A and B are shown apart, each in its own frame.
Chain A
Amino acid sequence: GIQVEQSPPDLILQEGANSTLRCNFSDSVNNLQWFHQNPWGQLINLFYIPSGTKQNGRLSATTVATERYSLLYISSSQTTDSGVYFCAVERKGSNYQLIWGAGTKLIIKP
């Protein structure tokens, strides 16, 4: 099956720093999403981005489908950005099955 690898596994930053999270996937996809799981366990959909670039405030994401990777950028980090960031993909022809990476645990220190 399709493999989804996220890096780095852990990231500790000071408030105000910028960060880049990476997601590599091993097959063609028709759906790629980035999620933030906050310390209370809630999953927040950040981006639906099977290709191209999107921006939402301090967050932006880029997916290069031909090279099978996606990047999530967080600028001017705030303590509320802490949590785990997941990349999840739906392989073409897989019929609605999201395959998840193991996540990047981000800690923003004040």
Chain B
Amino acid sequence: NAGVTQTPKFQVLKTGQSMTLQCAQDMNHEYMSWYRQDPGMGLRLIHYSVGAGITDQGEVPNGYNVSRSTTEDFPLRLLSAAPSQTSVYFCATHRGLDYGYTFGSGTRLTVV
């Protein structure tokens, strides 16, 4: 039982490049979300999904796209990378209200 798997673990991009961060879960949870963590801070919500085909914006959505075609996968796309997107990205799942969240191990992204 892997839980929440994020790939890659590390990535360096040049300004203007695009890429997709992958998140897969085997917990059959309906709810998935993407957060970013900047140095010395707590996490901030980028996008979230309450089920396949349903996504919505969080606190800091600009520059990112998501889609949810299956329950298991919730990829995060950076359209045109900027240095301000240098951060650690975490994917999370939870079963719904009254349940705790489970986080992946994170993707450390550097944009130069």
Contact = CB atoms under 8 A, between A and B. Distances in A.
Interface of A: 4, 30-31, 33, 35, 41-43, 45, 47-48, 50, 86, 88, 95-98, 100-103
Nearest to B103: A43
Given A47-B100, A100-B42, A102-B40, 12 more contacts: A30-B98, A41-B88, A42-B106, A48-B99, A86-B42, A96-B94, A97-B58, A98-B43, A98-B45, A100-B41, A100-B44, A103-B41
B102 to A, nearest CB: 6
Nearest to A30: B97
Main secondary structure of the interface of A (DSSP, over half): strand
A48 B102 CA distance: 11
Interface residues of B, number: 28
A11 B43 CA distance: 21
A43 B15 CA distance: 29
